[in-house]
Amino acid sequence: MTDVTITHIGGPTALIEVGGWRILTDPTFDPPGKRYFFGWGTMSRKLVGPSILAKDLGPIDAVLVSHHHHGDNLDPSAQALLPTWGTTYTTKKAAKKLGGNTVGLAAWDTTTLEAPGKLSVTITATPCRHGPAGSDPITGPVVGFSLKWEGQEHGELWVTGDTVLYDGLRDVAKRLKVGTMLMHLGSVRFRYLSGWFRYTMDAKEGLELLDLVKPTNVIPVHYEGWSHFQQGRDEAEKVLADHKVTWLNPGETKTVQA
């Protein structure tokens, strides 16, 4: 059995430490106050800065970027640092855009992290739909990530990425045994432009997904720090109260059994 340590840095950004690897998810290190434009008239303002500055992170071996075109998942500060952080795994479109030491993956593509003295970790891209049916041409490609290594007793570590609940996630529940889950929530909406359509899961959808996946450990991320999040921790926590969910404040660390 191998323990995995997860530090919630803020927003979607987390540091995963396992088997000698230090893996960063959806890095966002801009200071608060900036505005980010997502296309088609949508925008968001950053309300809170990262709990840990990029310069204080230490070495990073790999970065998981669910998508490159939204500043709440990869902001300019983080993008400038990607060449210093080892290999970046992301969508195929993002890999073409970002260049450098970047690997592009489509849903269900796999690759492997390998180095002397470290666990071999298989990375599998998982499907996402970042909005209502038919929104893919507008919202662009997004992937989640599953991490699998030898000795996992409870199952794979799954980072859902920015997505609503749809058949692609139900397929994940059928195909993967998930032990630890970093679940993107936030119920992203742009009410004046797209009404009540959501672009990430709310807690009700998260609850349905948990009932499908049945993970051992659940850590929510991507629900605070930007103005376009419509459902914060307080409301989501009430909905998910009957499940064993670990809420990490920004800067807080948790070690769980994989």
- Identify the CATH number of the domain in which residue 148 sits: 3.60.15.10
Which residues contact residue 229 at a Cβ distance below 8 angstroms, ignoring those fewer than 6 apart? Answer: 186, 187, 188, 222, 223
- Token pair recorded at residue 59: 């070495």
Render pLDDT for 154-187 as a digit per residue (tens, 0 to 9): 999 999 999 999 999 999 999 999 999 999 999 9
Percentage of the chain lying above the pLDDT 90 cut? 85
- Token pair recorded at residue 245: 């969910």
* Domains contained in the chain, number: 1
**Per the domain annotation, does 141 fall within a domain?**
yes
The Cα–Cα gap between 221 and 14 comes to 8
**Per the domain annotation, does 257 fall within a domain?**
no
DSSP string, 1-46: --EEEEEEEETTEEEEEETTEEEEES---PPTT-EEEEETTEEEEB
**Per the domain annotation, does 255 fall within a domain?**
no
**Per the domain annotation, does 241 fall within a domain?**
yes
Write out the residue range of the structural domain in which residue 96 sits.
3-248
- Token pair recorded at residue 142: 């997004």
Percentage of the chain lying above the pLDDT 70 cut? 97
**Per the domain annotation, does 123 fall within a domain?**
yes
**Per the domain annotation, does 254 fall within a domain?**
no
Q: pTM of this prediction? A: 0.96
Render pLDDT for 108-146 as a digit per residue (tens, 0 to 9): 999 999 999 999 999 999 999 998 887 777 778 999 999
**Per the domain annotation, does 142 fall within a domain?**
yes
Q: How far apart are the first and last CA of the chain?
A: 7
The Cα–Cα gap between 161 and 168 comes to 12
**Per the domain annotation, does 256 fall within a domain?**
no
Render pLDDT for 40-57 as a digit per residue (tens, 0 to 9): 667 899 999 999 999 999
Kindly tell me if the per-residue pLDDT of 191 is higher than 70: no
Q: At 194, is the pLDDT very low, low, confident or very high (cuts 50, 70, 90)?
A: low
- 8 A C-beta contact, residue 242 and residue 208: no
